[in-house]
Structures are given as structure tokens and as C-alpha cells.
Amino acid sequence: MMRIFFQKYGFLLVIWLPVGWLSLFFMLPLIEMINVSFSEARRAVPPYNPAFQIGEKGISFQPVFDNYLLIYDYWGDYLWPAVNSIRLAFFSTVWCLFFAYPMAWWIARSKKPLQHILLVLVLMPFWTSSLLRMYALIGLLNPNGVINDFLLWAGIIVTPIQMMQTDFSIYSGMLLTYLPLMILPLYASLVRLDNALLEAAADLGAKNWEIFRTIILPLSLPGVIAGCLLVFIPAVGEFVIPALLGGPEQLMLGKVIWTEFFRNRDWPVAAAIAIILIAIIILPVVYARYQDKEGLS
């Protein structure tokens, strides 16, 4: 009797922890953010009049659509930061995939002790602050930085190369930050790939490129999708790296939200932009999940 009970309901003993965690630190803040985005701004603490309230007068819900209408009216101001953010996230993802795939393959095909060392090396950058690493990168790429100094000293160039405030410096920073997030899921899917499958393909007449196209790539696709999502999602909201490494024209949506929150103290509008951003991100994710399910069945 007890056993049947545990077999049926035993999972409840374990599942409350992740469910509780996600509800408390993910669902509640998200609901609050949606609540703020439908609220009216005011000069007070907090700086908005909540749309959904539980007070002395009982429960009231009076949503205000002004914030979204404002964004709609001034869409030109928000469009370019959005385009910038999505373009940055998209190309960062592409570059990460480009560099991470061969690295993940190499790690996954290495012998066991070397494999663990390489994985630790991949994770090593996470041990220092992201900001510190960006300043280190500036120290490398500056007109009077390490690289230019060396090239000048070696006589390869006569004037310093402009590397800072370019796409090169931005994507270097993005790559430095996000590459591990791409390598790890790719590694996880490539390491599971049975060597016998590759030999079977070769045995059946497939050349190297065909083995990659017909066996390795399709079987590592879940890893590719997971890696792309892990890079793309935080990259869309990224504004520190382009601000530090890029030129002044690089206005990102993340920066816009930050400005609305802390400069203008207009929390409702900032929240509304954030919600729109989430919607933009969620659509490709849902699509990817849907594709994934299709592929499995």
C-alpha cells in the first residue's frame, strides 16, 4: 500500500523544490514585470501605480495600455536598438557556432583525461568577472595595446590598426563571453555519438564530408539548437559588451531598457519594452522546440 503510494506520488516529494524555485524566482518576477508594464507611472515609491492590487478595497485589476501605446507611437526610437540587438545576437550566435563546433568535436573525440582538462579550460574564463575580461580585451586591441605594440615593434605595420570600436572588437568580446555556452551543449551531444556509426557510414562508402552531413550534423542538431538558444537569448539583452567595445552608435535594446529604468525612472515603459523583448525571443524558442519535437517523432 505504502509502496504503491510512493510509486504514484513519490515524485511530489522531489518535484516541489525545482517547481518552488522556478515559481519564486522566475514566475513571480515575470508576473510582476507584466503587472508593471500595464501600470501607470507616478512620482512615488514604487514609481508606479500597480495595475493588479490586493489592498483594503479588495482585489482590483485596472490595466493601463499607455505604455505599449507609447512604444507603438515612438516605434522608430525603439526599432533600431531592437534591430541592433537582434543583429548582434544573431551574428554572435553564428560566430560562436562556427568556432565552437570544431572545438567541441575535438574535445569530444579526445581521450578521457585530456577531455576533462579541455572542458575545465573551456569553463576557466567564467572564473573571472566578465567585465575584467572585457577590459583585458581592450588592453589587447587598443591602438596602443599589446597587439599593435607588437606589430609596430616587429615592423609589420607603421601605424596602429583600428581594432577597437569596430564589429571585430564587439564580436571578439561576444565570442569571449558566450563561446563556452555554445561548446558545452555541442560537446554533450557529440560525445554521445557512437564511433561505430561513423565507421558504419565509412564502411558503406561515405566520404568524410558525407559522414559529417548525413550522420554527425543531424545527430548533433539538438546540441546545435540548445547552444544557439543559450547564446542567442542572453546576447539579445547584452549591452555592456557593445558599450565597452563598440562605437557610440551601437545603441542596444538592453541599454534602452536600462535608461528607461534608471535615468527616466519610467518603470512601466521599461517593463513594457522588456516584455516585448521577451516575446521576440520566445517566438524562435517555441519554434525550435516545436521543430525538435517534430524531429523526434
Partner 1 sequence: MPPFIRIQNISKKYGVLQAVDAVSFDLEKGELFSLLGPSGCGKTTLLRILAGFEVPTSGLVEIDGQNMANVDPADRPVNIMFQNYALFPHMSVFNNIAYGLQRASLAKNEINHRVEDLLKLVHLTGMGERKPATLSGGQRQRVALARALARRPKLLLLDEPLAALDKKLRSDTQFELVNIQEKLGTTFIVVTHDQEEAMTLSTRIGVMNEGQLVQLATPNEIYENPKTRFIADFVGDISFVPAKINRQDGDYWLMDAAVPIYAACEHNLEAGKSITLAIRPEKITLTPEASGKINEFPVRIDDWAFYGAGTQYRVTGPGGIKLKLFQSHNQPSNAQLRPDQIETGFIHFAPESIIILEDK
Alpha-carbon distance 243 to 79, whole Å?
18
SS (H, E, C) 36-98: HHCCEECCCCCCEECCEEEECCEEEECCCCHHHHHHHHCHHHHHHHHHHHHHHHHHHHHHHHH
Output the nine-digit C-alpha cell for 151: 606589430
Minimum distance from residue 221 beta carbon to partner 1 (Å): 8
Using CB under 8 A as the binding rule, whether residue 188 contacts partner 1 is answered as no
Using CB under 8 A as the binding rule, whether residue 194 contacts partner 1 is answered as yes
Using CB under 8 A as the binding rule, whether residue 291 contacts partner 1 is answered as no
Alpha-carbon distance 139 to 239, whole Å?
20
Using CB under 8 A as the binding rule, whether residue 294 contacts partner 1 is answered as no
Which part of the chain contacts partner 1 (CB under 8 A), choosing from 35-43, 163-171, 210-218, 223-231?
Answer: 210-218
Which part of the chain contacts partner 1 (CB under 8 A), choosing from 51-59, 151-159, 215-223, 241-249?
Answer: 215-223
Among 210, 247, 264, 286, binds partner 1 (CB under 8 A): 210
Which part of the chain contacts partner 1 (CB under 8 A), choosing from 1-9, 18-26, 63-71, 194-202?
Answer: 194-202
Of 36, 7, 13, nearest in space to 261 by CA: 36
Size of the site for partner 1 (CB under 8 A): 18
Residues that bind partner 1 (CB under 8 A): 194, 196-197, 199-207, 210, 214-215, 218-219, 295
